[in-house]
Structures are given as C-alpha cells and as structure tokens.
Structure 1
C-alpha cells in the first residue's frame, strides 16, 4: 500500500529530474531532436523540459494527478521518436553510449505503463469514494 502511494511521487520526481536536465545540459538533448521537426532543436529541448516539469507538478498534486498521469503516458509515447533518433545517431559511438541509446528504446514501455497505472490508481480511488 505504501509503495502505491509513493509511486506517483516517484514518477513526478523522475519527470522533474529529466525536466531540469533539459535546461541544465541542453546540448545532450538537442542531439536527439529529429531533423524533421521545424525550428531549432534547442526550442524543442526547452519545450520538452518545460512539459516534463509541468507533468511532474501535475502528478505531484492529487487534484490533477489523473489527468497529468494520462498526459505523461502520451508524452512518453510522443518522445519515442527522439529516442529512436538517438539510437540511430549513436550507432557508431563507443559501445557504452551505443548500448545506453539502445536501452532507452524498450524503457519507454514501462514508463508508459507506470503513468497509466498512476492514472488508473486515481480513477479507482475516486470510484471507491
């Protein structure tokens, strides 16, 4: 029971950490932005960082948790192309970097499921009232 109560806050912490990283070290994120997207990569880096921070805040607050968790699941699906781009771009990098880029791809699945689980937890809690 305690783990399920912490789960939303852990997800919020993960999103907040990632969001801050987009602003603290944007260059590493710029390289993952697909060239097909319009505008400068830095704008997408900052924009996605801001979205992660907003999602973190939304999930941390019980009143907005369900909506923010559903939005986070959609966000995790939406950023998948950037992870694919990173894996393609890093295919000639040293082995540890190449492995890290490839490992990110299947990690999107548990992130989506985690966010969906948080949203469902809110729905079940509200139905039980």
Structure 2
C-alpha cells in the first residue's frame, strides 16, 4: 500500500515502535489498574476501554510488521495515540498516583509534549507520510 521509500532509519523506527506498542498492549491487558485509574471520568466502561486499547496496540504493532497492513496500522496507531491523549492529560492535571507514587511535571511535561512526536512517528515509520523528509526540487 505504501509507495514511500524504505530506508534503514524507517525500518529501525518501525521495529522500535512495534515493540513499544506491543509492550504497552501487553501491559494494558495484564496490568490494567493504572490505565483505568487515569481514564477520564467521562469515558464509559473504563475497564473495557482499557482492554480494547490493549488489543488495538497489539494489532497495530503486528500490522506495522506486515507490509500489506503497514500504512493502515500506522494511521490507526496515530489515531490511537491522539485518542488516548486525554488520559495522559487527565493523569497530569488530576495528579493521579500510580502504585501510590505521584509523578511530577518532570514526567508529565515531556510525556504530553511528546505525544505529537508519537503520532508523527507512527505515520512516518509506517510509510503513511514522508514529511518532513521530502526534498524540494
């Protein structure tokens, strides 16, 4: 599906991203408590949503590794990262402790600021975009 060039950096970025989402997916399914805790109050059935997000992360990670599904998986993971951003914002603003530990803004600030990078990373590593690497002619 993707016609963008395959470079070694893109392949490495894709492998790292697939591994990160696979690890996060397993964590969502095996240790959902922290994820449920940071879910905003307006999200219905947070336990179910956390389980579904874990499945989505695993499916997206697998999809990144299958050439025919790669671009769709990257777009899906980018949308996923956008959709879970409210949970990260809620975690930061409500100062929700995880395992009894309150995380400081030294954690939350970079985490929130890097969410657009994760979105771009999913799109670029999957070949959905080449921005900003395109050369002007």
Cα distance in 2 between the residues matched to 1:2 and 1:21: 29
Alignment CA distance shift 1:98-1:114 (3 Å):
same
The CA deviation at 1:123 is 6.9
Contact 2:89 2:112 in 1 (8 A): yes
Aligned to 1:73: 78
Cα distance in 1 between the residues matched to 2:22 and 2:91: 21
TM-score by length of 2: 0.78
Contact 2:14 2:64 in 1 (8 A): yes
The CA deviation at 1:30 is 0.7
Alignment CA distance shift 1:96-1:37 (3 Å):
closer
Structure 1: gaps of 5 or more residues = 125-129
Cα distance in 2 between the residues matched to 1:81 and 1:13: 23
The alignment covers a number of residue pairs equal to 122
The CA deviation at 1:118 is 2.1
Q: RMSD of the TM alignment (CA)?
A: 2.3
The CA deviation at 1:61 is 1.1
4+ runs deviating over 6 angstroms: 91-96
Aligned to 1:56: 61
Contact 1:73 1:115 in 2 (8 A): yes
Aligned to 1:87: 92
Please give the per-residue CA displacement for 1:75-118, whole angstroms capped at 9, x wherever unaligned: 11111111111112217899961232333211201101101112
